[in-house]
Amino acid sequence: EKREGRDALETTYAKYYENFGVVLVPIPNRSTKLDEYFNKIPIESVILSSGNDVNPMLYGKKPQNEDFSEERDNTEKKLIQIVIKKKLPLLGICRGMQFINVYFGGSLVQDIKTKTGANHVAVQHSVDVVDKKAADFLGKKKLIVNSYHNQGITKTTLSNKLKPFAVSDDGSIEGVYHPKYPIAGIMWHPERDGCDKEINKKIIHAFIERKLYWEKGVKLSKP
């Protein structure tokens, strides 16, 4: 019996981003006409959400499990190409940040606990804000974040086109940005409990208002 393909997005995403006046437009991972969304809908920015693993074969490694979707990887690859072309802000959340890293030539640690000795699934931990621009903008150099990922990024697997702005005590990279494009990602989940809500508000407002790492590109017209 053939199983139907399904896309799923936690309802907490819609609830959380509505607080910022954001209307989410979910894009199916099977669409072959992604450009049409941007041509027919006034999309102002893109979020790559959390979810299953990024296919390790994309960075030359053998998968340790089959918890990945080639259709999703292909869709997100096209989305990054579109936002670069249109100079739109892009925010990656957890898996979204991981995919950004892979897209720009980086790789992932498939089991971050084995690599660093620290558990990153359903826990809280601190991160150091290692970029002065982010520390000044956020007003803090150390944050408490939630963590729900088994794959991760370390200094040796980070793309040479990306820069880190948040790093955990075990050396795993928790926040990255692209110095040329308005693209950045975080490994924690702003829409879930267990992290600094005020800091998350500052980050999401920066993303929406094109500040911090999203200030480059075409400015939005004011309503």
| Contact status, residue 206 vs residue 213, Cβ threshold 8 Å | yes
| Contact status, residue 128 vs residue 167, Cβ threshold 8 Å | yes
Given 120, 125, 178, 189, the catalytic residue = 189
Q: Is 195 a catalytic residue?
A: no
Given 76, 120, 125, 191, the catalytic residue = 191
| Contact status, residue 212 vs residue 134, Cβ threshold 8 Å | yes
**110, 142, 109, 107: which is closest to 124 by C-alpha?**
142
**153, 151, 190, 183: which is closest to 168 by C-alpha?**
153
**178, 198, 186: which is closest to 148 by C-alpha?**
186
With H, G, I as helix, E, B as strand and everything else as coil, classify residue 140: coil
Q: Is 189 a catalytic residue?
A: yes
Phi, psi at 125, each rounded to 5°? -160, 170
Q: Using CA atoms, how far apart are residues 49 and 58, in angstroms rounded to an integer?
A: 18
| Contact status, residue 111 vs residue 64, Cβ threshold 8 Å | yes
Q: Using CA atoms, how far apart are residues 52 and 110, in angstroms rounded to an integer?
A: 12
Given 76, 94, 178, 195, the catalytic residue = 94
Q: Is 191 a catalytic residue?
A: yes
Cβ contacts of residue 31 below 8 Å, gap of 6+? 37, 75
Catalytic positions, please? Answer: 94, 189, 191
